[in-house]
Amino acid sequence: MQTAGFDRKNISSIRPVFDRDRPKLYIETYGCQMNVNDSEVVAAIMQNAGYSVTKDIGDANLILINTCSVRDNAEQRIWGRLEYFRLEKKKRPDVSIGVIGCMAERLKESLLENNVVDIVSGPDAYRELPKLVEKTESGQKGINVLLSRDETYADISPVRLDKTGVTAFISIMRGCNNVCAFCVVPYTRGGERSRNPETVIRELKELSDNGYKEVTLLGQNVDSYSWNGVAFADLLATVAESTPDMRIRFSTSHPKDMTDNVLKTMAKYDNICNYIHLPVQSGSTSILQSMNRKYTREEYLQRIETIRKIIPDCAISTDIIAGFCGETQKDHEDTLSLMREVGYDFAYMFKYSERPNTKAARQFRDDVPEEVKVKRLMEIIDLQSELSLASHKKDIGSTLEVLVEDTSKRSENDLCGRTPQNKMVVFPKENRKIGDLIKVKIIACTQATLKGK
Ligand code: SAH
Ligand code: SF4
Ligand code: F3S
């Protein structure tokens, strides 16, 4: 597999290059939005090294799986996929298989033991991937799991792998400096570093020039963004001003760090969507304390109140963990009552999964029995279904702005898109097309979607 000798000038593009004569990369992505964006960075690096991207695994010379370690079931799915790749390799022994991302960082060289994996690359080593791939061509294994203090891939224009070309991610920072007791991310992604704002604006304009209509700025904790005196609120304002026709979103906000300045900036610019993902994790102050989240229930609720004051129509979503170490029935009820009090529009809900070497794994016992975790999680999910339905019902009768993102999964004759509040709306196609910003009258809803006309 020869990778040298391609004309580099012709291969920097933000859309994938399909070229039969080049070696082919197939990339599969698990985990968070940051991983989705990282796969696009990897595609850019490999495209620059002479590869072209394929959606057909059977056609690939190189298979990369970008992995997540956040919960045990995320890792189990990846082990399952590796067994499938083993079959692929039996059919075509020349194919190289690489595990990249968080699980690569966590498990390191032990991933090479199963005779499927040829390449292991942590999230900060993607620039080295072409070299690691080259090694496999001479029958060696390639591994690099070094974490970096300053890598942000700031100069790389991600090759956008989405199919519609309407919404995109821009990573504004990497890593995390918090030590939430349950969380593996600081270990798999290293310390926090922010990206030069000029490169963020460059990427934003590139997307706008290529017809994209919405960007989501990504970081594990966007509120601690900091670059030579530029804080997150400043970056947000510059982004909103640089591309007034582009919708702007961001994720994730940390309740302990979110400033009023961010909220005021959101209120000031129409193109910043009125939607905040503010993970609470638990409604009990004592659990929050053992989780090391650094806020109390009351402080969190105070944040919510401020959001409602500054941005009255702001949608709010959250992440919740059921059954963290030491969680009592009373703690669980505190979570349910907090959910009701906030009235979340949406939530991602999980069962606590102990991750090796985290603060919780070292200091606490994973003592909530599995059946209790499941029961509590079900109660949380049921309550959120009620809350989501109530939130959607409130929209019936109103006319909302929707960015058309795709054809509906259920019907060819319907399109779908999201409101600024991040609610999914399905409506008849008629003469609209993907990428249009339109007004839709809401006529019905389920807990998952709004129906419009
Ligand atoms: N940086 C983001 C979250 C990243 S992980 C933040 O601080 O909010 C995404 C979500 O996964 C977390 O918010 C948490 O709810 C969940 N999560 C993380 N570790 C987990 C674990 N060990 N068990 C269950 N859920 C977990
Ligand atoms: Fe994990 Fe906490 Fe960092 Fe989020 S803020 S990535 S939950 S350590
Ligand atoms: Fe994201 Fe999973 Fe890593 S949530 S940061 S891919 S552990």
**pLDDT, position 18:** 80
Sheet of strand 346-351: strand arrangement: 275-277, 315-322, 346-351
**pLDDT, position 317:** 98
Distances (CA, A) of 367 to 115, 135, 280, 392, 395: 36, 45, 21, 37, 42
Instruction: Find the 112 Cα to ligand 1 centroid distance in Å.
Output: 27
pTM here is 0.96
User: 185 CB less than 6 Å from ligand 2?
Assistant: yes
d(CA 169, CA 435): 16
Write the DSSP string, 73-106.
HHHHHHHHHHHHHHHHHHH-TT-EEEEEEHHHHH
Do 335 and 300 contact (CB within 8 A), yes or no? no
For 161, the token pair is 């792998």
d(CA 189, CA 32): 12
Q: Which domains does the chain have, with CATH numbers?
A: 24-144 (3.40.50.12160), 167-393 (3.80.30.20), 399-452 (2.40.50.140)
Amino acid at 67: T
In this structure, which ligand is nearest to the CA of 355? 1
Instruction: Find the 76 Cα to ligand 2 centroid distance in Å.
Output: 21
Nearest residue CA, atom 2 of ligand 2? Answer: 180
User: 65 CB less than 6 Å from ligand 3?
Assistant: no
User: 188 CB less than 6 Å from ligand 3?
Assistant: yes
For 194, the token pair is 């922010």
Instruction: Find the 318 Cα to ligand 1 centroid distance in Å.
Output: 10
List ligand 1's pocket residues with C-beta within 6 A.
70-71, 182-183, 185, 220-221, 252, 254, 279, 281, 319, 321, 350, 352-353, 355
**pLDDT, position 15:** 84
Q: List phi, psi (to 5°) of 322.
A: -95, 135
For 102, the token pair is 């968080």
User: 220 CB less than 6 Å from ligand 2?
Assistant: yes
User: 69 CB less than 6 Å from ligand 3?
Assistant: yes
Count of C-beta atoms within a 10 Å radius of residue 337: 14
Report the candidate in 38, 259, 292, 6 with the shortest Cα–Cα distance to residue 160.
38
d(CA 3, CA 10): 15
User: 281 CB less than 6 Å from ligand 2?
Assistant: no
For ligand 1, mutation pick of 258, 319, 325 (most atoms within 8 Å of CB):
319
Do 82 and 65 contact (CB within 8 A), yes or no? yes
Q: How many CA atoms lie within 13 Å of 256's alpha carbon, on the beta-carbon side?
A: 13
Instruction: DSSP letter for 354, please.
Output: -
Count of C-beta atoms within a 10 Å radius of residue 324: 27
User: 183 CB less than 6 Å from ligand 2?
Assistant: yes
First to last CA, the chain: 53
For residue 115, give every residue at least 6 positions away whose Cβ sits within 8 Å of its Cβ, in sequence order, or none. Answer: 86
For residue 236, give every residue at least 6 positions away whose Cβ sits within 8 Å of its Cβ, in sequence order, or none. Answer: 217, 248, 250, 262, 265, 266, 269, 272
For ligand 1, mutation pick of 36, 73, 172, 182 (most atoms within 8 Å of CB):
182
User: 36 CB less than 6 Å from ligand 3?
Assistant: no
Nearest residue CA, atom 1 of ligand 2? Answer: 183
Atom of ligand 1 nearest to the CA of 354: 22
Our measurement of the distance from residue 420's CA atom to the centroid of its chain's CA atoms, rounded to an integer in Å, reads 18
For 444, the token pair is 């019905």
In this structure, which ligand is nearest to the CA of 252? 1
Instruction: Find the 369 Cα to ligand 2 centroid distance in Å.
Output: 24
Query: Per residue, what are the HEC states of 203-225?
Result: HHHHHHHCCCCEEEEECCCHHHC
Atom of ligand 3 nearest to the CA of 35: 6
d(CA 372, CA 327): 10
d(CA 142, CA 133): 7
Q: Taking each helix axis as running N to C, give the angle between helix 129-137 and helix 33-48, from 0 to 180 degrees, rounded to the nearest 10.
A: 60
Q: List phi, psi (to 5°) of 249.
A: -125, 170
User: 280 CB less than 6 Å from ligand 2?
Assistant: no
Atom of ligand 2 nearest to the CA of 293: 2
Instruction: Find the 1 Cα to ligand 3 centroid distance in Å.
Output: 31
Do 108 and 142 contact (CB within 8 A), yes or no? no
**pLDDT, position 6:** 42
User: 176 CB less than 6 Å from ligand 2?
Assistant: yes
In this structure, which ligand is nearest to the CA of 188? 3
Per-residue pLDDT of the chain (453 residues; tens, 9 = 90+): 434 334 444 445 788 878 888 999 999 999 999 999 999 999 999 999 999 999 999 999 999 999 999 999 999 999 999 999 999 999 999 999 999 999 999 999 999 998 899 999 999 999 999 999 999 988 899 999 999 999 999 999 999 999 899 999 999 999 999 999 999 999 999 999 999 999 999 999 999 999 999 999 999 999 999 999 999 999 999 999 999 999 999 999 999 999 999 999 999 999 999 999 999 999 999 999 999 999 999 999 999 999 999 999 999 999 999 999 999 999 999 999 999 999 999 999 999 999 999 999 999 999 999 999 999 999 999 999 999 999 999 999 999 999 999 999 999 999 999 999 999 999 999 999 999 999 999 999 999 999 999
Do 422 and 450 contact (CB within 8 A), yes or no? no
Nearest residue CA, atom 1 of ligand 3? Answer: 32
Q: Can you name the residues that pair with 230 across neighbouring β-strands?
A: 227
Helices (H) and strands (E) in the chain, counts: 13, 21
**pLDDT, position 390:** 98
d(CA 97, CA 129): 12
Report the candidate in 292, 288, 303, 299 with the shortest Cα–Cα distance to residue 335.
288
Nearest residue CA, atom 5 of ligand 2? Answer: 178
For residue 386, give every residue at least 6 positions away whose Cβ sits within 8 Å of its Cβ, in sequence order, or none. Answer: 447
Radius of gyration (C-alpha) of the chain in whole angstroms: 22
d(CA 354, CA 41): 30
Instruction: Find the 221 Cα to ligand 1 centroid distance in Å.
Output: 12
Atom of ligand 1 nearest to the CA of 320: 15
Do 340 and 301 contact (CB within 8 A), yes or no? no
User: 186 CB less than 6 Å from ligand 2?
Assistant: yes
Instruction: Find the 431 Cα to ligand 3 centroid distance in Å.
Output: 39
Rounded to 5°, the CA angle 260-169-436 comes to 95
